[in-house]
Amino acid sequence: MTQSSARALILFAKDPVEGQVKTRLSSLLDAQTILSLYHHFLRDSIEKVCSVAEVDRFIGIASDPKTNYFEDVSRNHPVQLFVQEGGSLGERMRRAFEDRFKEGYERVVIIGSDSPTLPTSYIEQALQSEKDVVIGPSADGGYYLIGMREKMTDIFEDVHWGTDRVLSETLNVLQGQQAQAELLPVWYDVDLPEDLRFLKTHLEWMVHAGLLKEGQATLEFLNQLHLESKI
Cα–Cα distances (Å) from 164 to 2, 25, 146, 156, in that order, read 38, 18, 16, 15
Can you list the residues of the chain whose pLDDT is less than 70?
1-5, 152-153, 226-231
Q: What is the pTM of this model?
A: 0.93
Q: What is the pLDDT of residues 57-110, one digit of tens each?
A: 999 999 999 999 999 999 999 999 999 999 889 999 999 999 999 999 999 999
Q: Is the distance from CB of 41 to CB of 11 less than 8 angstroms? A: no
Q: Please state whether beta strands 107-112 and 181-183 pair in parallel, antiparallel, or not at all (unpaired).
A: unpaired
Q: Which pLDDT score, from 0 to 100, does residue 212 have? A: 77
Please state the domain extents for the chain.
7-224
Q: How far apart are CA 171 and CA 163, in angstroms?
A: 14
Q: What is the pLDDT of residues 75-90, one digit of tens each?
A: 999 999 999 999 889 9
Q: What sections of the chain are H helices per DSSP?
A: 31-51, 69-76, 89-102, 120-128, 166-177, 193-208, 216-225
| Architecture field, domain 7-224 | Alpha-Beta Complex (3.90)
Q: How far apart are CA 75 and CA 77, in angstroms?
A: 6
Q: Which pLDDT score, from 0 to 100, does residue 152 have? A: 66
User: How long a stretch of residues is the chain?
Assistant: 231
Q: Which residues are registered as beta bridge partners of 110?
A: 10, 146
